[in-house]
Amino acid sequence: MSRLGTVLALIGITLTVSACGYNTIPTLQEQAKARWSDVQNQYQRRADLIPNLVATVQGYAAQEKSVLTAVVEARAKATQITLNASDLTDPDKLKAFQDAQAQLTGALGRLLAVSENYPDLKSNANFLALQSQLEGTENRIAVARRDYIDAVRAYNTALRTFPTVVWAKTAFSGEKPMAEFTANEGADKPPTVKF
């Protein structure tokens, strides 16, 4: 009878541990890391499109050299700052990454504004295709960031709520909350439209 009691006790403990949320923390952490990979993938897609866009505009707007230089420099800076999954708990590193990407976004906005001065460029099929791809990529970046924020929120919540907080304080005591994206400075103001 004692052997049967031991087996039943082990089965009971196993069922209790498996249902108590032990796997929740690593599962949510891996989901957040996967979402971060999606964010990086979309930023890389944008970085890959920029040289083609710049080259296309260069053919039409040679006198806009300062804008083209700013885009190239912002792209170089944005691609130099890398943030891997192990850095996601450091808000300062995430902010540096986000700031570099925001600078690139601003430079691209100025580049697209320059195109308004060149009717031939605006009707160029290559430029229109690149502009469309860039706009689609910006939308993909927004979706990937939203998904990352949701995954981080779920992970950070699991670190602070019962029953997973028990595991967070014991078995996963070294795990820290992940940093979230914050709104860029000036994002609360609508863009100025000039006609």
Is residue 131 included in any domain, yes or no?
A: yes
For the stretch 21-44, pLDDT in tens is: 788 999 999 999 999 999 999 999
For the stretch 121-161, pLDDT in tens is: 777 888 888 888 889 999 999 999 999 999 999 999 999 99
Q: Quick check: pTM over 0.85? A: no
**99, 41 Cβ separation under 8 angstroms:** no
Q: How far is CA 129 from CA 13, 56, 134, 135, 175, in A?
A: 60, 11, 9, 10, 44
Number of domains in the chain: 1
- DSSP per residue, 46-77: HHHHHHHHHHHHHHH-GGGHHHHHHHHHHHHH
Give me the numbers of helices (H) and strands (E) for the chain, helices first please.
7, 0
Total length of the chain:
195
Q: What is the mean pLDDT of the chain?
A: 84
The domain that holds 32 is classified in CATH as 1.20.1440.20
Q: Which domain holds residue 146?
A: 23-169
Please name which of 112, 117, 115 lies closest in space to residue 138, comparing C-alpha atoms.
Answer: 112
Please name which of 19, 31, 37 lies closest in space to residue 157, comparing C-alpha atoms.
Answer: 31
Q: Is 18 helix (H, G, I), strand (E, B) or coil?
A: helix
Is residue 145 included in any domain, yes or no?
A: yes
* The residue type at 58: Q
Distance, in Å, from the CA atom of 25 to the CA atom of 165, rounded to the nearest integer, reads 9
**86, 179 Cβ separation under 8 angstroms:** no
Q: Is the pLDDT of residue 193 over 50?
A: no
